[in-house]
Homo-oligomer: A and B are copies of this chain.
Amino acid sequence: MDVYIENLKKQFNKRILFELRDMEFKSGRINVLMGRNGIGKSTLFNIIAGLDEDYEGSIAYDGEALSKEKMQDITLVSQKPYILNRSVYENLAYPLRLRKYSKREIEEKVEFYIEKLQLKELRDQNGRSLSGGEMQRVSLGRALIFSPKLLLLDEYTASIDERSLGFMEEIVLEYKETGANIIMITHSKEQAERLGDSLVYMKEGL
């Protein structure tokens, strides 16, 4: 799902946070978004994900405005993920249950991601008691599991240990092959270089 942003202006009270003339994120790529703390990256993600409707300007998703149907194909892996107060298994299953997947499909997919994200030991643990890095894994799995066409990753490996970083990046690279649009915020130049197909820098007055 291509995203095209035009004249997007966001302000808090009277203070203008950013005004983006135009900006494009193409599908089938990993689009890296960088910029200093507080420049408005997460705020932009919230807007793109449809969580914040208090802005001026327009965003086109495959040329169209945001709709309920489109929302079904967009997801955000938040910088501060909120993991549901239920087991890790059920956290992963939740988006599938929302979409009325069959029991078998749910089990298959969830087990697949539990394996892939090395969550086997945490399978039945409550999501609210996870460690920072564990939450980020669950959050990624929960997002990928329903195959979104637009995936917003907000510093999704900030708390991931060195050993796991590899597979966390690998998973996203693999996912790119589905043709989805992946936009990723990171503060690590190395990560940007490893994964990014394009790079946008948010700057003051852009």
Contact = CB atoms under 8 A, between A and B. Distances in A.
Contacts of A35: 161
A47 interface: no
Most chain B CB within 10 A, of A35, A132, A155, A164, is at: A132
B159 A155 contact: yes
A103 interface: no
Interface in A159-185: 159-165
Interface residues of A, number: 30
A79 interface: yes
Interface stretch (A36-44, A49-57, A64-72, A93-101): A36-44
Given A80-B80, A122-B38, A137-B37, A132 B160 contact: no
A131 B42 contact: yes
Contacts of A137: 37
A90 interface: no
Given A42-B132, A132-B80, A36 B163 contact: yes
A79 B12 contact: no
A162 B189 contact: yes
B129 A161 contact: no
A134 interface: yes
A187 interface: yes
A43 to B, nearest CB: 8
A164 B158 CA distance: 16
A130 interface: yes
A133 to B, nearest CB: 3
B36 A164 contact: yes
9 contacts: A37-B131, A37-B132, A38-B122, A38-B131, A79-B159, A80-B80, A132-B155, A133-B187, A162-B188
Going nearest first, the 4 A-B pairs with the smallest beta carbon separation are: A37-B133, A158-B158, A36-B161, A38-B131
